[in-house]
């Protein structure tokens, strides 16, 4: 034996050991360490429960401290709730396990610390398991114990400073003679964080137990400026420090030093860097404080002129170490948003309309178009009816006309040889006596516009522009129009995290009457909201935006969730009321209105002081409506045109739970009905509203429960997975106007206004469609209006170019978000590749035709070109679905063996739900009875299932093929569940077919919100002689919302 091993070693050294000689015996493989075994487990891709079972086995073998540390650390990651993202359905079970293993790991670490008390690097490394960003808050107390031990073990001043910085004890660091200069700079940065605007704001408004006094606020302001000066003194060549110091000064309204520090940062930073952009934003803020808009604009334009890189991946601060807010809001984005507002507004950024056919849009109520056209070379805008020469509607017309080569004068009498356009002058035709109505008359002698009100005049100006032929030398069509909308509350909610500077232009061309700006008064979606400062530059932009919208008569609502629920300010504190009143009044003075949302982040998360004041019961019912009424009336008394929309908490719709977080639905709704000022609009929310299938009884319910007509905040729309360029949109039609419509007859008369939660860059064409419908329902035609909207936004030929790609993209809807490689993709790989080719070709042609228009409003089509391509590119090389899902299929097979005695050796056919083609694949359920008790709609036990959604979704049917002959009747065992809306009388209607023959039709007999089995007989006579058969299951319920009831979930099928 020894000789054989020696010979093998000699051969190996000689390079001949690649194969073992016959009869030889290689050395036994070295056993894996426990850490290596954990790594190998992670490579196997086990399910959560299977991984936990394997880890428990390894725990028994862990004997040494290092081994225990490794296994407890892996358990910690496995069970800490943040590891599972936002899925908190099993949080109670996971918390218990995370605490158990957290304590075990802490004991081991403290034990190891005693073994190496002088090894500082080793001791510092003991923090890491509890310092993972994903769960550091969960293990804060354990991390604190480790840090207490480290503070005791520190020997040198540098070591003491290191742990004191970790423990946020900057004053102690500054007192250490041996602390390094780098450590002292870090301490200054911490001291700045402790007194900055956010610290002051939280202490003053959020801390109700020990609130900051006015004197202490002033003291902290002074301290911040002193520390900012000290920071620059210590590191004068650090541009980030200069940006931070400048920011401290401009936040406090001190222009001189703000400019000086920002100028210094500018001079020592590199061109085209995010740091230089931060310095320029500082200069712009200082300029605004000095009243110099031109200098602020110059700074913003310099930012936009350079190709600044985005902030580093997974970083929101651009590399800054000193807590500057400017990098959180992305300086380049601030410049992009503010530059147009510093110019007085951009009414032509999208350069709309591209093509109108020289007819007004939406389709006019009364129009008489002629075939006569008048060339437009020179135009004089003549203002009457109280319009000043600097009225922004005149500026809108001037910019639109000058872009197409028309020379424009604005004066009281027409310039010689010019085409006069008279607005609200005495000789203009009478406008309809309707809100937002207008009259337009165009003859060879000139044009006349008269509005019934401010917004009507704006729409008249838009219609004048729409009557112009934009394809050649400018000319305008003669004719007369009298027009007004059927419904006046036509709005949209600009979401997608960022204000769009072309919002107003889009709203005007679509004839919207109201816009809700989700980014709020920060314009950058909470990046400068909540406990972050309203900087002079951002404040100027918000107020200017309000002023501009008001000048046109469009109601602009600032969504203020950063002050209504992120964080939840204490409504019982007088300071909250004064804060809201001051901020909202500033916006109201400029013409702005307020959207006050409580939907996502208030509820059971109300401030502790509010809960204490109400005894923890009915907190929102006792406080919200009364507070808002008081606030609304206080502002409206000073600004009579002020408006407010409120979005209630809890999603208490007609089919929502009866109680949530100790707040009964009826009590809460009663408070809105009785305590909320009737002048405040209320968004009707809840599952029924989101998914769209509203009925008359639901509309009546909303009016009754809210004590007013509700406003609609439509959070989901579209017959595609996303909204694409060229969509035919019929969803918002009432049934009598289009049988495919999702709104009951009379729906729009039952609401106060309608908003779609969208982003104009992603959903612009789709959004414009419902404004057209609400303007003139009887004239709206989904297909024809899709063509007209596409022409307005992209040009005359765009619809024909993009339509084939639109239809091809619709094919991919069945693959869910970002087009997943589900069973249908394998079964239809040729269709996947063919449709992708059409999608890509249409897109390339569209970009070539109108690149600027596509860049402005790319819709979701631009994203889906990539994702459909990814699916097409990878489908041929992807691992087969059954192989990818082997472990999940094995688990389902085991479940079927337990539940229905599956025995494939005796001929049973097993059909795992995840192998059905169609539907939507999800993991669903609760791990423990305690979790299910809190979330009653979820079944007990986590299973992977295929969900069959409503009829207008891409997931309304599933099918699977199976082999069986027609010799005898068969039994089909379907395992699954269903969920319905609380007000639905029956389970979801469904149909089960075999080879096209119905074997079951009616309300599903699966259990509600729990896993169970439904047995169906399959007659032998409908089975195919060739033994190849198809099982199909269809959800017959109406609607288009996904992941909302009613739906059916199938775990597996067994045919016996």
Average pLDDT of the chain to the nearest whole number: 89
Please give the helix or strand (H or E) that residue 1043 lies within, else none: none
Of the candidates 345, 284, 614, the residue with the CA atom closest to the CA atom of residue 503: 345
Listed residue (570, 563, 571) closest to 520, CA to CA = 563
Domain stops at, among 874, 896, 916: 874
Confidence check: pLDDT of 312 > 60:
no
Share of the chain above pLDDT 90, in %: 65
Question: What average pLDDT does the segment 824-843 reach?
Answer: 96
Tokens of 977: 């569940």
Identify the three-state secondary structure at position 879. coil
**Which residue did the predictor score with more confidence, 141 or 746?**
746
Q: How confident is the model at residue 333 (pLDDT cuts 50, 70, 90)?
A: confident
Q: Closest Cα partner for 936 from 618, 652, 656?
A: 656
Residue 35 covered by a domain: no
The reply to whether 793 and 891 lie within a common domain is: no
* 320 and 421 assigned to the same domain: no
Inside any domain, residue 360: no
Return the closest-CA partner of residue 93 out of 938, 925, 930: 930
Two tokens at 283?
């200069």
Q: Are 761 and 496 in contact (CB under 8 A)?
A: yes
Q: What is the pLDDT of residue 826?
A: 94
Give the separation between CA 617 and CA 622, rounded to whole angstroms.
Answer: 9
974-1027 confidence digits (pLDDT tens): 999 999 887 778 999 999 999 999 999 999 999 999 999 999 999 999 999 999
The answer on 685 and 625 residing in a single domain is yes
H and E: helices and strands count for the chain: 38, 29
What pLDDT is recorded for position 1?
37
Domain assignment of residue 40, yes or no: no
Q: Are residues 865 and 896 in the same domain?
A: no
Confirm if 590 and 639 have CB atoms less than 8 A apart: no
Q: Say if 977 falls within a structural domain.
A: yes
The predicted pLDDT at position 8 comes to 32
Give the chain's domain count: 6
Give the contacts of 459 (CB within 8 A, at least 6 positions apart): 436, 438, 451, 483, 508, 511
CATH number, domain containing residue 439: 3.30.379.10
The H or E element containing residue 478 is: strand 475-483
pLDDT greater at residue 288 or residue 687 = 288
Task: Express each pLDDT in 294-311 by its tens digit.
Answer: 999 999 999 999 887 665
The CATH number for 588's domain is: 3.20.20.80
Residues 843 and 927 occupy one common structural domain: no
Give 25's pLDDT tier (boundaries 50, 70, 90).
low
Q: What is the pLDDT of residue 693?
A: 66
Average pLDDT over residues 115-143: 81
Question: With 70 as the cut, is the pLDDT of residue 140 above it?
Answer: yes
Kindly state the helix (H) or strand (E) to which residue 1050 belongs, with its residue range: strand 1047-1055
- The answer as to whether 720 is a domain residue is yes
Q: How confident is the model at residue 461 (pLDDT cuts 50, 70, 90)?
A: very high
User: What CATH number has the domain bearing residue 957?
Assistant: 2.60.120.260
Among candidate residues 326, 342, 358, the one where a domain is terminated: 342
179-193, 464-478, 864-878, 929-943: range with lowest mean pLDDT: 929-943
The model's pTM is 0.90
Q: How high is the pLDDT of residue 58? A: 87
β-pairing, 711-714 with 753-758? parallel
Confidence of residue 10 (pLDDT cuts 50, 70, 90): very low
Residues 171 and 314 in one domain: yes
422 and 370 housed in the same domain: yes
Whether 3 has a pLDDT exceeding 50, the answer reads: no
Assess if residue 509 is contained within a domain: no
For the chain, what is the radius of gyration of the CA atoms?
33
Highest-pLDDT range among 35-39, 87-91, 763-767? 763-767
Question: Exposed (0-12), middle (13-18) or buried (19+): which is 684, by Cβ within 10 Å?
Answer: buried
Q: Are residues 909 and 965 in the same domain?
A: yes
Residues 598, 468, single domain; the answer is no
Predicted local distance difference test score (pLDDT) of residue 625:
97
User: Do residue 168 and residue 97 come from a single domain?
Assistant: yes
The answer to whether residue 607 sits within a structural domain is: yes
Which of 565, 575, 644 lies closest to 603 in space, CA to CA? 565
pLDDT surpasses 50 at 21: no
Residue 371 predicted with pLDDT over 90: yes
- Count CB-CB contacts under 10 A for residue 134: 13
Question: Does residue 77 share a domain with residue 15?
Answer: no
* β-pair partners for 381: 410, 421
Q: What is the dihedral of CA 247, 251, 257, 263, to 10 degrees?
A: 40
Measured CA to CA, the distance from residue 419 to residue 408 in angstroms comes to 9
Q: Is the pLDDT of residue 446 over 50?
A: yes
Highest mean pLDDT among 24-33, 760-769, 840-849: 840-849
378: three-class secondary structure by DSSP: strand
704-736 residue pLDDT tens: 999 999 999 887 665 566 778 888 888 889 989
Query: Residue 850's domain spans which residues?
Result: 804-874
pLDDT of residue 383: 96
Residue in 732, 738, 736 with CA at minimum distance from that of residue 719 = 732
* Burial (Cβ within 10 Å: 0-12, 13-18, ≥19) of residue 1056: middle
Together in a domain, 632 and 647:
yes
Q: What's CA 173's distance to the chain center, in Å?
A: 42
83 domain residue, yes or no? yes
Structure confidence at residue 272 (pLDDT): 82
Q: What is the mean pLDDT of residues 859-877?
A: 94
Q: Which of 874, 906, 921 is the last residue of a domain?
A: 874
In the structure encoding, which two tokens stand for residue 38, read together? 């954990």
């Amino acid at each position: 034996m020894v000789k054989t091993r020696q010979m093998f070693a000699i051969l190996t050294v000689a390079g001949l050991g690649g194969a073992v000689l016959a009869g030889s015996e290689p050395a036994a493989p070295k056993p894996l360490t426990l850490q290596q075994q954990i790594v190998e487990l992670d490579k196997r891709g086990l399910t959560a429960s299977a991984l936990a079972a394997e880890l428990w086995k390894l725990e028994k073998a862990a004997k040494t401290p290092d081994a225990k540390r490794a296994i407890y650390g892996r358990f910690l990651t496995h069970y800490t709730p943040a590891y599972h993202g936002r899925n908190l359905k099993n949080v109670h079970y996971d918390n218990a396990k995370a605490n158990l293993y957290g304590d075990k790991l802490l004991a081991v670490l403290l034990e190891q610390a005693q073994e190496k008390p002088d090894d500082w690097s080793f001791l510092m490394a003991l923090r890491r398991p509890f310092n993972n960003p994903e769960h550091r808050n969960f293990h804060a107390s354990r991390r604190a114990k480790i840090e207490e031990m480290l503070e005791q073990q520190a020997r040198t001043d540098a070591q003491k400073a290191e742990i004191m910085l970790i423990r946020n004890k900057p004053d102690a660091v500054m007192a250490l003679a041996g602390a390094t200069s780098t450590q002292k700079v870090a301490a200054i940065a911490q001291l700045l964080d402790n007194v900055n605007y956010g610290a002051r704001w939280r202490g003053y408004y959020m801390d109700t137990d020990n609130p900051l006094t006015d004197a202490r606020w002033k003291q902290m302001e002074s301290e911040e400026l002193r520390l900012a000066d000290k920071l620059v003194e210590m590191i004068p060549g650090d541009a980030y420090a200069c940006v931070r110091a400048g920011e401290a000064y401009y936040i406090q309204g001190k222009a001189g030093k703000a400019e000086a520090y920002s100028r210094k940062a500018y001079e020592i930073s590199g061109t085209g860097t995010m740091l230089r952009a931060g310095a320029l934003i500082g200069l712009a803020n200082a300029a605004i404080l000095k009243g110099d808009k031109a200098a602020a604009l110059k700074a913003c334009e310099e930012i936009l002129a350079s190709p600044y890189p985005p902030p580093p991946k997974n970083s929101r601060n651009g590399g800054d170490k000193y807590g500057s807010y400017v990098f959180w809001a992305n300086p380049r984005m601030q410049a992009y948003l503010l530059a147009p507002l510093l110019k007085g507004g951009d009414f032509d950024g999208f350069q709309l309309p591209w093509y109108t056919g020289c007819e007004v849009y939406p389709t006019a109520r009364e129009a008489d178009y002629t075939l006569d056209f008048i060339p437009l070379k020179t135009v004089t805008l003549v203002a009457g009816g109280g319009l000043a020469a600097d009225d922004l509607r005149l500026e809108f017309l001037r910019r639109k006309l000058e872009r197409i080569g028309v020379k424009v004068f604005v004066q009281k009498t027409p310039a010689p040889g010019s085409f006069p356009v008279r607005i609200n002058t005495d000789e203009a035709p009478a406008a309809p006596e309707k809100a937002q109505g207008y009259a337009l008359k165009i003859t060879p002698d000139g044009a006349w516009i008269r509005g019934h009100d401010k917004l009507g005049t704006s729409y008249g100006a838009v219609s004048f522009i729409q009557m112009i032929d934009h394809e050649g030398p400018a000319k305008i069509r003669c004719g007369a129009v009298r027009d007004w909308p059927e419904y006046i509350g036509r709005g949209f909610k600009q979401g997608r995290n960022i204000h769009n500077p072309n919002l107003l232009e889009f709203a005007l061309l679509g004839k919207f009457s109201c816009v809700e700006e989700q980014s709020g008064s920060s314009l950058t979606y909470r990046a400068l909201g909540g406990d972050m400062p309203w900087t002079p530059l951002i404040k100027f932009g918000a107020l200017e935006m309000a002023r501009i919208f008001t000048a046109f008569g469009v109601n602009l609502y600032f969504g203020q969730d950063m002050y209504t629920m992120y964080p939840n300010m204490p409504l019982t504190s007088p300071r909250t009321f004064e804060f809201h009143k001051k901020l909202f009044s500033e916006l109201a003075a400029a013409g702005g209105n307020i959207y006050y949302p409580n939907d996502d982040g208030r509820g059971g998360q109300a401030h502790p002081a509010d809960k204490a004041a109400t005894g923890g019961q009915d907190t929102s019912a006792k406080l919200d409506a009364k507070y808002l009424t008081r606030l609304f009336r206080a502002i409206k008394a000073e600004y009579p045109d002020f408006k407010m929309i409120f979005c209630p908490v809890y999603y208490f719709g007609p089919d929502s739970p009866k109680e949530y977080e100790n707040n009964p639905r009826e009590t809460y709704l009663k408070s809105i009905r009785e305590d909320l000022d009737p002048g405040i609009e209320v968004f009707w929310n809840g599952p029924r509203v989101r998914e769209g299938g509203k009925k008359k009884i639901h509309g009546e319910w909303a009016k009754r429960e809210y004590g007013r007509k509700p406003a609609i905040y439509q959070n989901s729309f579209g017959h595609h997975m996303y909204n694409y360029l060229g969509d035919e949109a019929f969803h918002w039609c009432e049934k009598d106007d289009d049988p495919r419509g999702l709104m009951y007859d009379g729906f729009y008369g039952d609401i106060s206004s309608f908003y779609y939660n969208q982003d104009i860059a992603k959903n612009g064409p789709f959004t414009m469609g419902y404004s057209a419908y609400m303007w003139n329902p009887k004239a709206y035609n989904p297909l024809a209006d899709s063509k007209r909207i596409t022409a307005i936004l992209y040009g005359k030929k765009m619809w024909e170019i993009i339509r084939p790609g639109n239809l091809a993209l619709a094919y991919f809807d069945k693959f869910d978000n970002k087009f997943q490689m589900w069973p249908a993709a394998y079964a239809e790989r040729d269709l996947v590749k063919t449709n992708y080719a059409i999608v890509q070709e249409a897109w390339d042609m569209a970009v070539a035709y109108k690149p600027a228009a596509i860049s402005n409003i790319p819709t979701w089509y631009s994203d889906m070109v990539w994702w459909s391509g990814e699916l097409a590119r990878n489908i041929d090389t992807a691992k087969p679905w059954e192989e990818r899902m082997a472990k999940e299929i094995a688990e389902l097979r085991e479940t079927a063996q337990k539940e229905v005695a599956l025995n494939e050796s005796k001929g049973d056919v097993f059909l795992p739900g995840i192998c059905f083609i169609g539907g939507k694949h999800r993991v669903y359920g609760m791990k423990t009875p305690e979790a299910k008790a809190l979330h009653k709609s979820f079944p007990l036990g986590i299973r992977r299932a295929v969900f069959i959604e409503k009829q207008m979704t891409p997931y309304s049917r599933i099918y699977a093929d199976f082999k069986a002959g027609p010799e005898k009747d068969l039994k089909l065992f379907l395992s699954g569940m269903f969920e319905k809306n609380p007000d639905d009388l029956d389970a979801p209607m469904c149909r089960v077919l075999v080879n096209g023959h119905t074997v079951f039709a009616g309300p599903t007999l699966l259990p509600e919100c729990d896993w169970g089995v439904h047995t169906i007989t399959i007659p032998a006579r409908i089975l195919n002689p060739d033994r190849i058969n198809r099982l199909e299951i269809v959800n017959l319920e109406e609607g288009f919302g996904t992941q909302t009831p009613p739906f059916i979930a199938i775990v597996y099928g067994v045919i016996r």
